[in-house]
Amino acid sequence: MELRQLRYFVTVAEEAHFTRAAARLHLAQPGLSAQIRQLERELGQPLLDRSGRTVTLTDAGAAVLPHARAALAAADRVRDTVDEFTGLLRGHVRLGTISGVASGELDIASVLAAFHHDHPQVEITLTETSSDAMLDALARGALDIALIGLTGAPIDSRIETDIVYDAAVQAAVPIDDPGARDRIPLRELRDRPLICLTRGTGIRGVFERACAAAGFEPNVAFEAAAPPLLLRLAARGLGTAIVPALTPAEAATFAVRTLAITDPELRGRLALAWRADRSGSPATKVLLGQLRIALAR
């Protein structure tokens, strides 16, 4: 029995799918399956039930899983102890972020480049996806750190957050829109075609929760993963975009005019998130600390 086989088994159990587990482990699926079968032969019991659409644990697998996790955690602690003794950082840090924010004020690329320069033996992977997907990945242990949008919905108590961005949510219309005003009550967006970020993003969640509280469902005509496309669509008169606050220069660049949403005012917040109930590797702790310093408001 090898530690890597236990790690493969735990990953398949967490993902409930060989293809997703292989992608997470950066392995070919046939090789992963072969290693799991070898572990099962050595133990004399099937650990995984492959008969359904998703992979599930057998009774033996469910009994083995906590011990496999404990063995991997113990091995990680041995490595971490040696690394701290020698002052060496190595390992793998998995970072997630929402689309369209890793630039400008939130310059994640520069932080990662500096970290890689100082600690070249640490492997870093970066994934762009929705906030909901990252919160799920943090809870499952598939991510170490994430930059997420907060929706106002409750978050798993095991996950800690640090807000790094806080701005008003605004409506954007074409710069030559005939209704010249600076603000719009939320209820007046009820019948407008809207251009929004995709479901699972922070601002979309904040907006939908506010609309539900006001007694209506927003009429979302277009969706996109990042604000620039929303603004381009709004500039061409295809709807009213719901976006984080823009500076006058940014609004002029995209040929839109912004309206403050009122009754109620809405806020878009981004936060670094991580599992508070896990100690994390030394590399994860160092990168998290650097991100919190670099992105602090």
Q: Are 185 and 216 in contact (CB under 8 A)?
A: no
Lookup result for tokens 């719901």: 242
244 and 110 together in one domain: no
27 and 58 together in one domain: yes
Residue ending a domain, choose from 43, 61, 86: 86
147 and 205 together in one domain: no
CA distance 28 to 48: 18
Q: What are phi and psi of 87, to 5 degrees?
A: 75, 20
48 and 103 together in one domain: no
pTM for this prediction = 0.70
- What's the number of domains the chain is made of? 3
14 and 80 together in one domain: yes
Q: What is the DSSP letter of 51?
A: S
For the chain, give the mean pLDDT. Answer: 89
Q: Would you place residue 203 in the very low, low, confident or very high pLDDT band (cuts 50, 70, 90)?
A: very high
CA distance 263 to 184: 9
Residue 180 is predicted with a pLDDT of 65
Lookup result for tokens 């404990």: 70
> Residue 242 sits in which domain range?
166-268
65 and 121 together in one domain: no
DSSP reduced 3-state for 179 = coil
The CATH number for 188's domain is 3.40.190.290
153 and 277 together in one domain: yes
Q: Are 9 and 37 in contact (CB under 8 A)?
A: no
Q: Could you tell me which residue, 192 or 101, shows the higher pLDDT?
A: 192
Lookup result for tokens 């400008």: 104
Residue 143 is predicted with a pLDDT of 94
Q: Are 22 and 14 in contact (CB under 8 A)?
A: no
| Helix (H) or strand (E) segment spanning residue 36 | helix 29-43
Percent of the chain with pLDDT over 70: 94
Q: Are 174 and 235 in contact (CB under 8 A)?
A: yes
217 and 182 together in one domain: yes
CA Rg, the chain, in Å? 23
CA distance 240 to 190: 11
Handedness of CA 276, 129, 204, 172 (dihedral sign): positive
CA distance 269 to 26: 33
The CATH number for 39's domain is 1.10.10.10
How far is C-alpha 121 from the chain's CA centre? 24
The tokens describing 271, both together, are 């936060």
| Amino acid of residue 206 | V
127 and 76 together in one domain: no
159 and 285 together in one domain: yes
Q: What is the DSSP letter of 87?
A: T
CA distance 106 to 249: 18
Residue 87 has pLDDT above 60, yes or no: no
The size of the chain, in residues, is 297
178 and 260 together in one domain: yes
pLDDT tens sequence across 229-259: 999 999 999 999 999 999 999 999 999 999 9
pLDDT tens sequence across 101-131: 755 567 888 899 999 998 888 999 999 988 9
On the question of a cis peptide bond just before residue 264, with omega within 30 degrees of 0, the verdict is yes
78 and 142 together in one domain: no
Residue ending a domain, choose from 69, 86, 103: 86
Q: What are phi and psi of 105, to 5 degrees?
A: -65, -35
